Structure 1
Amino acid sequence: MTGSDLPTARLLLRPWTPAAVAAVVAGTRCDGWATDFPADGDRVVARLLAGTPDGPGWGRYGHRLLVERATGLVVGGAGLFPDGAGGLEVGYGVVASRRGRGYAGEAARALVGLAMAGGVRRIVAGVEPGNLASVRVLERLGMQHTGTVDGVHRYALP
């Protein structure tokens, strides 16, 4: 884990700490979390990170907590993971109390920019059918729909 925050205009994308992973897995709360953090997706990510302390979730790209600069609260998560085909897959989630503010797009843009600056040329994403907000995030990133696999709509940068 690099330990360094990735700043955006309104967020800090902060690498998970082992203590935050342990708290989410144990179902305990930490100071500095929005009242509705963690969401279900954050619990899934924490369990994955707990099972792979040296795995891809901890690397330069990995997964990060979204810290709202205005409040200092953790309001979601976003990350890049190996896609199994030589590229990275971007994913993100924002707690319900902070949705509709553009945080997912802001975080995804920063992570995609970090990856591209690092020489990554293949960036993909998956979206559940009906998640129009997430589709808009991906389209604003310039991603294009490439098909559907196992009921998930797939997107990629051209």
Structure 2
Amino acid sequence: MSDLATARLLLHPTTVREAERIVAGEPDAGARWAPGYPTAGDVSAATRYLRACADTGDPHPFGNYEIRRREDGRAIGGVGFHAPADAEGSVTIGYGLVPSERGRGYASEALRGLLLFAREQGVTRVKGDADHDNLASQHVMIAAGMRPAGQDERVRYFEITWTGPTTPGDAVA
């Protein structure tokens, strides 16, 4: 599977070998990791991806993607699906950036790219959540076109839904 491109980023589908390196904290010789990469969230996502590969096979295209800057190829975070779409066409997403790259719009750009890709794959609903005090993550989902969909004592839930077929050139807000 090839990288997904946005204006400033490449969303690189994580391979098993790359996920193993992320979990171990040991980049391949050619890997370019920004300082602070991988974060605990990246390690958790890579671990979940490796478990899925072992249990049911590679979930791609509904796996993890390394967020890389196009200008220098450096890995600055991750974005991806928690699992393939369910019977109703719904997926759950997660994302994160190294602290030094936050506040530049990269997370919203990566999420918009992933949402567009999900829609192209026939997904009808994408869900995400953020802790109540994680206002930055809530802003990322809103900037990417997701809307509040409820809350509990710990988190606020967001989602975006689509009806009808996808056509070339469809954009996510």
Please give the secondary structure, in 1, of the residue aligned with 2:124: coil
Equivalent pairs, count: 156
- Following superposition of structure 1 onto structure 2, how do residues 46-61 of structure 1 map, counting pairs within 5 Å? 46-53=46-53, 55=56, 58-61=59-62
TM-score (norm 2): 0.81
Structure 2 counterparts to residues 83-98 of structure 1, below 5 A: 86=88, 87-98=90-101
Alpha-carbon distance between aligned partners in 2 of 1:116 and 1:72, rounded to the nearest angstrom: 26
How does the TM-score come out when normalised to structure 1?
Answer: 0.88
Aligned pair in 2 of structure 1 residues 151, 85: CA closer, same or farther (>3 Å)? farther
* Residues 117, 29 of structure 1: alpha-carbon distance in 2 compared, 3 angstrom cutoff: closer
Q: What is the aligned partner in structure 2 of residue 6 from structure 1?
A: 4
Structure 1 residues 111 and 56: CA distance shift in structure 2, 3 A: farther
Where in structure 2 are the equivalents of 1:1-158 lying within 5 Å? Answer: 3-30=1-28, 31-53=31-53, 55=56, 58-82=59-83, 86=88, 87-149=90-152, 151-158=154-161
Instruction: Tell me how far 1:37 sits from its aligned partner.
Output: 0.3
Q: Is the 8 A contact 2:49 2:63 kept in 1?
A: no
Q: Which runs of 5+ in 2 are unaligned?
A: 162-173
In structure 1, stretches of 5+ residues that fail to align are none
Cα deviation per residue 1:52-90 (whole Å; 9 max; x = unaligned)? 216587311321000111121110000123475730112
User: Which amino acid letter does the alignment assign opposite residue 77 of structure 1?
Assistant: G
